[in-house]
C-alpha cells in the first residue's frame, strides 16, 4: 500500500503541501481545509495520516475502514460527526472544519509529495501487514 512518509527536518514551512491538498480535496485553496497540516513553529512538524488505522478501532459507529488498497477511509454518509477519531489520532492527522459535519483525512493521493520543493513528504510502498504491526 502507498503511504506518505514525512521528514520534518526537511520541511521549510512553505505551505505548498497544504495548498495542493485543500485544492485537490475541497476544490479551494484554504489550508484550514487541508488533510495535511504543518505546525510552523521554529521546528516544523508535518501532521499527515500514516494509515495506521487507530481511528478504525475508536469509531463508535464503525464507519472508518481500511480499503482493499490499504488506505483508511471514512464513510461520510454514515458518519455521525462525533469527532472521536479526531481526538484520538496519534498523528494529529484526522481533521475537522466548521464547514463540514464529518472529519476528513489524507487518502494518500501523493499530490503533496509531488509538489513539495524539499522532499519533506514522500510516497512509499509498504506491505499492509508491516504497517499494521507498527
What is the model's pLDDT at position 130?
41
Average pLDDT over residues 49-73: 95
Mean pLDDT computed over 96-124: 95
Yes or no: say if 7 and 120 are a contact pair by the CB < 8 Å rule: yes
pLDDT at position 133 is: 46
Residue 131 has pLDDT above 70, yes or no: no
Q: In the prediction, which pLDDT does 30 show?
A: 96
Instruction: Give residue 94's pLDDT band: very low, low, confident or very high (50, 70, 90).
Output: very high
- Residue 128 has a pLDDT of 64
Domain holding 102: CATH number?
3.30.70.20
Number of domains observed in the structure of the chain = 1
Which phi and psi (to 5°) does residue 64 adopt? -110, 125
Residue ranges making up the domain that contains 7: 2-133
Q: Other CB atoms closer than 10 Å to residue 81's CB: what's the count?
A: 12
- Mean pLDDT of all residues in 1-28: 95
Does residue 54 contact residue 86 with C-beta atoms inside 8 Å? no
Q: What is the mean pLDDT of the chain?
A: 92
Cβ count near 85 (within 10 Å): 26
- Considering the entire predicted model, what is its pTM? 0.86
Residue located via cell numbers 491538498: 21
35 pLDDT above the threshold of 90: yes
Amino acid at each position: 500500500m502507498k503511504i506518505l512518509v514525512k521528514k520534518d527536518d526537511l520541511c521549510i514551512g512553505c505551505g505548498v503541501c497544504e495548498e495542493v491538498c485543500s485544492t485537490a480535496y475541497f476544490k479551494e485553496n484554504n489550508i484550514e481545509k487541508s488533510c495535511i497540516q504543518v505546525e510552523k513553529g521554529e521546528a516544523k512538524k508535518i501532521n499527515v495520516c500514516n494509515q495506521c488505522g487507530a481511528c478504525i478501532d475508536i469509531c463508535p459507529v464503525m464507519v472508518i475502514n481500511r480499503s482493499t488498497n490499504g488506505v483508511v477511509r471514512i464513510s461520510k454518509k454514515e458518519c455521525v460527526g462525533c469527532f472521536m477519531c479526531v481526538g484520538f489520532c496519534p498523528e494529529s492527522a484526522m481533521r475537522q472544519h466548521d464547514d463540514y459535519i464529518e472529519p476528513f483525512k489524507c487518502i494518500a493521493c501523493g499530490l503533496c509529495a509531488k509538489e513539495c520543493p524539499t522532499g519533506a513528504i514522500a510516497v512509499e510502498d509498504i506491505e499492509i501487514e508491516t504497517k499494521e504491526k507498527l
